[in-house]
Amino acid sequence: MDHFIYRDGQLHAEDVPLAEIAAEVGTPFYCYSTATLTRHYRLFDEALAGMDHLVCYAMKAASNQAILRTLGDLGAGMDVVSGGEYLRARAAGVPGDRIVFSGVGKTRDEMQTALAGGIRQFNVESEPEMQVLSAVAKDMGKMAPITIRVNPDVDAKTHAKIATGKSENKFGIPISRAREVYALAASLPGLKVIGIDVHIGSQITELEPYRLAYEKVAELTEMLRAEGHEIKRLDLGGGLGIPYERSNEAPPLPTEYGALIKDTLGHLGCEIEIEPGRLVAGNAGIMVSKVIYVKSGEDREFLILDGAMNDLIRPAMYDAHHDIIPVAEPAAGVEQQPYDIVGPVCESGDTFAKQRMMAPLATGDLVAFRSAGAYGAVMSSEYNTRPLIPEVLVHEHQFAVIRPRPTFDEMINRDTIPPWL
């Protein structure tokens, strides 16, 4: 459920008509709903009620500080994957002891930044990384709390580019080698082993892969405890999918996911962390764009929008489906027609949808891409020297620009010409 709904024939974000935002900030833009972000965070928090837990929002999904502040104020922790994300979370007011640091390639600098500022734990992904973290922490006179990310060799049954839990993926250490890697961790100075981490992929639309992975984690917990390690925290990653195509998708709900966690791991008495990104932010955001031209091809009609692949890359990159709806509600019973919906960027990959059935649209009409809150703005670029599009946050009847559109001068003046030219 989200808070983008038609009211009086106009698509609203909570109580604000999107056409009003478009008139003020121009198109294209991203728009997020505070109520939806809040609702999604709470669904996870409530799903884990009864267990000691922390929901660490995977901020890579949407990292504007206004979003982080909204979630942080509700009590959320953050899952960060770079020094930049760490500093951004801190700037948004999230305390270090609610930040977990994931990622396969943490650098010394990033480790130092997090150790100096305070960190809940590092999720370590390899032995070389562990050696470096040990050395960095020791030099700083600190103890780095760590979990080790294990790769359970489970098929998450998702798009190949976002599956992470198979042995051929670059993530984590093979679960079969966990015993020796934990023994190494226990022998190194500067490290305090506190638990296990696992994350098997993203846009996961069934519970079975989670069950398989979490059963392996339960077994591993008992084995490591028997070896004398203190395993008090389990970080279970993120990945729960969302319905992108609302008419025919119904992925499992956070409550069902929470029940599975209790079922597979509840008996261990561990503190549970989860790292959802997409389910928190995905349907809490849309991208609004304007029709520039309607162009007739040989055998099809093209809707040429002012938004493009550089603004929302998911269709080009993952063949992802996004529902696209008109901002002005079409009259009941109006006949739909197929459109190829494209952006102005100079490559054929700049196609959002082919032969999508839509009510007839004309130049100047606004459309909204649903489910664009996660991996939308954060993956945008200035390709074709197109400005990064603004982000807007709505709260009931108020809205605020939370990242303005840069001017062309700002963009162009970032380049510097070397002295020999």
What residue ranges bind ligand LLP (CB under 6 A)? 58, 61, 79, 102, 162, 199, 202-203, 237-239, 275-279, 314, 318, 374-375
The span from the CA of 120 to the CA of 139, in Å, is 19
Q: How far is the CB of 303 from ligand LLP (least distance, A)?
A: 23
Q: How far is the CB of 9 from ligand LLP (least distance, A)?
A: 32
Q: Which is nearer to ligand LLP, 183 or 388 (CB)?
A: 388
Q: Which of 31, 56, 270, 346 is catalytic?
A: 346
Q: How many CA atoms lie within 13 A of 334 on its CB side?
A: 13
Q: How far is the CB of 37 from ligand LLP (least distance, A)?
A: 14
Question: Kind of pairing, strands 285-296 and 29-33?
Answer: antiparallel
Q: Is 10 helix (H, G, I), strand (E, B) or coil?
A: strand
Q: How far is the CB of 374 from ligand LLP (least distance, A)?
A: 6
Q: Which is nearer to ligand LLP, 361 or 372 (CB)?
A: 372
Q: Which is nearer to ligand LLP, 55 or 402 (CB)?
A: 55
Contact status, residue 180 vs residue 131, Cβ threshold 8 Å: no
Q: Which is nearer to ligand LLP, 83 or 277 (CB)?
A: 277
Q: Which is nearer to ligand LLP, 203 or 380 (CB)?
A: 203
Contact status, residue 180 vs residue 220, Cβ threshold 8 Å: no
Name the DSSP class of 349. Answer: T
Beta-strand (E) ranges in 208-260?
Answer: 233-235
Contact status, residue 200 vs residue 165, Cβ threshold 8 Å: yes
Quickly count: other Cβ atoms within 10 Å of residue 87's Cβ.
15
- For residue 292, CA distances in Å to 288, 361, 364 come to 13, 11, 6
Q: How far is the CB of 305 from ligand LLP (least distance, A)?
A: 19
First to last CA, the chain: 56
Q: Which of 266, 310, 270 is nearest to 289 (CA)?
A: 310
To 10 degrees, what angle do helices 65-73 and 83-91 make? 60
> Cα 129 to chain center, whole Å?
24
Contact status, residue 122 vs residue 146, Cβ threshold 8 Å: yes
Q: Which is nearer to ligand LLP, 200 or 361 (CB)?
A: 200
- For residue 56, CA distances in Å to 2, 91, 295, 406 come to 21, 16, 46, 31
Task: Tell me, yes or no, if 31 is annotated catalytic.
Answer: no
Q: How far is the CB of 55 from ligand LLP (least distance, A)?
A: 11
Just list the catalytic residues: 346
